């Protein structure tokens, strides 16, 4: 429901921006574009498979990852008028809690996600400096600083490791020129298909629990741009 609400909010913002965009706005033909955005990072976090369980999880045990809002920097290079490549830079901290029989249990505390992403984009320039686009490309999820939550620690977990993995991202959005000096507004939505494996270790180094998780995050962004 949070994802649907965020997507609806983004759509409403896009509609408002399109109505408000000046009819005389134009775009520059610079090769580079930089965007400073505010982003909602909305991961999934569900368990898709349990590979090892020396703890004895209750049947139906499930998890979910927290949402977060972060600043994002996007850098884009235009090969042609309609084709570009874009990468983003951001970090986002999350925690994982239990669901179902584990409801409310703190499983993973303060895991930092770096969603390194490179997309190839196609733009469709419209009158009034409005440029909707779509994109697709690979992404690498890097995890840093993860540690067991209180519930996992109480069961003997002294250390947790989330695997860094490669997946795919698709995106859609719109750039709206504000005048003819390169400045603009940008709205963007990215959907990721990604997984990670969580391995929990005891103080003695024994791998006591191994679970496979679906991350499959949405990253919804809005902000300002400058093309030069």
Confidence of residue 101 (pLDDT cuts 50, 70, 90): very high
Question: Of 138 and 3, which is predicted with more confidence?
Answer: 138
The DSSP call for residue 182 is: S
Q: Span 130-149, mean pLDDT?
A: 97
Mean pLDDT taken over the chain: 89
- Give the pLDDT confidence score for residue 69 in this predicted structure: 98
Confidence of residue 71 (pLDDT cuts 50, 70, 90): very high
Residue 22 has pLDDT above 90, yes or no: no
Confidence of residue 128 (pLDDT cuts 50, 70, 90): confident
Question: Of 6 and 75, which is predicted with more confidence?
Answer: 75
pTM, to two decimals: 0.83
Burial (CB count <10 Å: 0-12, 13-18, 19+), residue 141: buried
Whose CA is closest to 124, among 85, 186, 87, 81? 81
User: 104 Cβ partners below 8 Å, 6+ apart?
Assistant: 97, 98
- Give the pLDDT confidence score for residue 40 in this predicted structure: 98
């Amino acid at each position: 429901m949070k994802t649907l609400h965020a997507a609806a909010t983004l759509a409403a913002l896009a509609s408002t921006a399109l109505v408000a965009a000046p009819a005389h706005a134009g775009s520059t033909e610079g090769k580079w574009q930089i965007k400073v955005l505010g982003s909602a990072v909305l991961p999934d976090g569900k368990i898709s498979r349990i590979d090892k369980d020396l703890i004895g999880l209750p049947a139906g045990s499930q998890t979910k990852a927290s949402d977060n809002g972060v600043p994002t920097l996007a850098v884009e290079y235009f090969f042609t008028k309609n084709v570009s490549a874009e990468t983003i830079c951001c970090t986002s901290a999350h925690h994982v809690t239990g669901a179902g029989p584990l409801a409310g249990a703190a499983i993973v505390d303060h895991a930092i996600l770096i969603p390194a992403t490179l997309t190839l984009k196609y733009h469709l320039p419209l009158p009034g400096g409005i440029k909707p686009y779509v994109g697709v490309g690979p992404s690498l999820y890097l995890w840093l600083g993860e540690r067991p939550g209180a519930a996992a620690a109480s069961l003997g977990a002294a250390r947790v490791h989330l695997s860094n993995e490669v997946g795919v991202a698709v995106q859609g959005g719109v750039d709206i020129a504000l005048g003819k000096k390169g400045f603009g507004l940008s709205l963007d939505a990215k959907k990721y298909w990604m997984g990670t494996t969580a391995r929990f270790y005891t103080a003695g180094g024994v791998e006591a629990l191994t679970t496979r998780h679906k991350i499959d995050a949405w990253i919804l962004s809005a902000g300002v741009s400058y093309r030069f």
